[in-house]
Structure 1
Amino acid sequence: MDEVTVIVAHHERATLRVGDVFLKIDADRTRTDDEVEAMALAPVPTPEVLWRKPSVLAIAAVPGTALGRLGEPSAAPPAAWAAAGAAVRKLHDGPLPPRTGRAGRDLDELVSELDGECEWLVANGVLPADLVTRNREVAEAALRPWTPVFTHGDLQIAHVFVDGDEITGIIDWSEAGQGDALYDLATLTLGHEEHLGDVIAGYGTDVGLDVIRAWWSVRSLLGVRWLVEHGFDPAAPGCEVDVLRSRM
């Protein structure tokens, strides 16, 4: 009998694995609708949708192994990281999807949220003021106009699966939509700066490295409170707090 494995679970959503099937349960059913739509449009390998019911999406496991995980060294070779960069470029060159994704949030709204999180982090003694201030300065480079592309919106390395140097699937598309290309590249390389050159080589064009580094600061500053409130540890080695410290 197949065991049920809890992949992630919190009050917003849960993902379970039973054999070769993943069950995604989401309190906001529109996210599963958005995910199915994005996977159908994406010009890169995505999981097979097996069935859908209100608030539940069943998808088939993709072959291969994850490119890595935040906070852990990646065993994937440089060619696999380059292949990931090439896949991201193919996605960004694809036709624009109809909706705006997480990587395309309104700039004024993002600035307001970022400043609010910085204030909360300092006021509650979660992070030292100088660490927050320095990363808020670095983050400024990301807060600029951008040309919209088809973005994944949550392109963590755990969402990119490889077999050797071949991309076999990209999962978790609920945040996909029009957005900033460099947001995806920053998310993919968050906590794995040593592989940024490989990703850019596969992506195949010049990009603003200062903007990618700025998105590392933005994502980490915005993520700390959410991670703490949902039972995760942003101060684990190699994770968000370490990313912020690396900007000092």
Structure 2
Amino acid sequence: MTDVSPTRDQLIWVLQLVGGDGIADVTPLKLGGSPWLVRWTGGDGGGRAVLHLGDRTDAERQARAETAMPIADQHGVPVPDVLGSRLDDESAMLLIEWIDGRSTRPVEPDVERIEALGAMAAVIFRANLGGVRLAEVTRPIDGVDFAAMRAAHPHPLLDEAARRLDGAPPEGPTGLVHGDLWSGNALWNGDDLVAVIDWDCAGVGPAGVDLGSLRLDAALAWGPEAAEHVLAGWEREAGERAADVAYWDAVAAVNTPPDLGWFVEGTVDALGRPDLTRELMVQRRDAFLRDALQRLDAER
């Protein structure tokens, strides 16, 4: 995604979609760039929407979101409505409904919320795709080359884990996966989960892609015990035991920057948790990965 502000022509397109009279303001929602919160004026009092703005290389990922979100919505996942999309010679745009909610999380773990996110991963996975074709997903955030990051900044534990995970994933059923499911992509209004956002990594894959991602996120935020609450929520909603948990935990940990870089920045920004320092989160990530590898050894 781009940090370049929407152009006049792009904002006119937004107004045409929503029936607004004029743009009131445009505000970046993530680290100074896309997506953008667009407010408009009009006879009905105006409104707000979220504009995902990128170049043509972002078109495929925006298409994944545009395809997956209505499917998820039909199966009980709270998602914003897609208002429109546009692809031209220079840019790719996706306009979605603004949902009033927050992703900030407390310093102490909220077990009910953590379990609710685990349950939501199971709801997403069992959505009926109805013959719709989506990209195959076998790891979180599949648009980022984490292998290149490890090559540039070697990390012995990550390197060892990547070698052990090399090859085909465990066999099992596939379904809809979000592909970047973590607490920063969940919006809450009080105790209600009102939206799951940022679907540009969505596709078809094993349930462990989202389950491992959520378990790692919980461990980073609150320690290893929190990851078990994610699993409890998933298994209660799914009505069965999750398969290959250790493998997918390791996959989630390997698919992070070696020093956690923008993972730390995103967590502090989205969750309002300045207590989560880089050093603490790297320590927790590495401990989570070591435990996953030990469980993998025990299973073999």
The bucket for the TM-score relative to the shorter chain is 0.7 to 0.9
What residue number does 2:27 align with?
4
* TM-score when normalising by structure 2: 0.62
Cα distance between partner residues in 2 of 1:87 and 1:114: 26
Q: Does 1:60 align with 2:90?
A: no
1:149-202: CA deviation from partner (whole Å, max 9, x where unpaired): 111111122111223443211111122121011110111232422322222222
With 154-163 and 92-101 compared, the bigger mean Cα shift is at 92-101
Larger RCO (CA under 8 A, 6+ residues apart): 1
What residue number does 1:146 align with?
172
Question: Within 5 A, what are the aligned runs for 1:130-141?
Answer: 131-136=157-162, 139=165
What residue number does 2:19 align with?
none
Q: What is the one-letter code of the residue matched to 1:199?
A: V
Cα distance between partner residues in 2 of 1:18 and 1:239: 33
Q: Is the 8 A contact 2:85 2:95 kept in 1?
A: yes
1:136 CA drift (Å): 2.8
Structure 2 residues not aligned, in runs of 5+: 1-23, 40-47, 220-224, 268-276, 291-300
Q: Does 1:40 align with 2:70?
A: yes
Structure 1 residues not aligned, in runs of 5+: none
What residue number does 1:83 align with?
116
Q: What is the one-letter code of the residue matched to 1:127?
A: P
Paired residue for 1:103, among 137, 141, 147? 137
1:16 CA drift (Å): 1.6
What residue number does 1:212 align with?
248
Cα distance between partner residues in 1 of 2:280 and 2:84: 36
What residue number does 1:21 align with?
49
Q: Does 1:168 align with 2:194?
A: yes
1:30 CA drift (Å): 2.9
Query: Closer, same or farther in 2 for the Cα pair 1:170/1:127, shift >3 Å?
Result: same
Cα distance between partner residues in 2 of 1:138 and 1:152: 25
Cα distance between partner residues in 2 of 1:141 and 1:75: 38
- Give secondary structure in 2 for the equivalent of 1:211: helix
Query: Closer, same or farther in 2 for the Cα pair 1:237/1:146, shift >3 Å?
Result: farther
Query: Would you say how many aligned residue pairs link Structure 1 and Structure 2?
Result: 226
1:65 CA drift (Å): 1.6
Q: Is the 8 A contact 1:102 1:179 kept in 2?
A: yes
What residue number does 2:60 align with?
30
> Which of structures 1 and 2 has the bigger CA Rg?
2
Instruction: Give the percent of matched residue pairs that are identical in Structure 1 and Structure 2.
Output: 21
Cα distance between partner residues in 1 of 2:84 and 2:266: 33
Q: Is the 8 A contact 2:109 2:226 kept in 1?
A: no
Query: Closer, same or farther in 2 for the Cα pair 1:78/1:164, shift >3 Å?
Result: farther
- Give secondary structure in 2 for the equivalent of 1:22: strand
Q: Does 1:243 align with 2:285?
A: yes
Give the RMSD, CA atoms, in angstroms: 3.6
Q: Does 1:49 align with 2:49?
A: no
1:40 CA drift (Å): 1.0
Q: What is the one-letter code of the residue matched to 1:190?
A: L
Q: Is the 8 A contact 1:101 1:153 kept in 2?
A: no
- Give secondary structure in 2 for the equivalent of 1:210: helix
- Give secondary structure in 1 for the equivalent of 2:60: helix
Query: Closer, same or farther in 2 for the Cα pair 1:201/1:141, shift >3 Å?
Result: farther
Q: Is the 8 A contact 1:103 1:184 kept in 2?
A: no
Q: Is the 8 A contact 1:34 1:173 kept in 2?
A: yes
Cα distance between partner residues in 2 of 1:142 and 1:198: 28
Query: Closer, same or farther in 2 for the Cα pair 1:2/1:189, shift >3 Å?
Result: farther
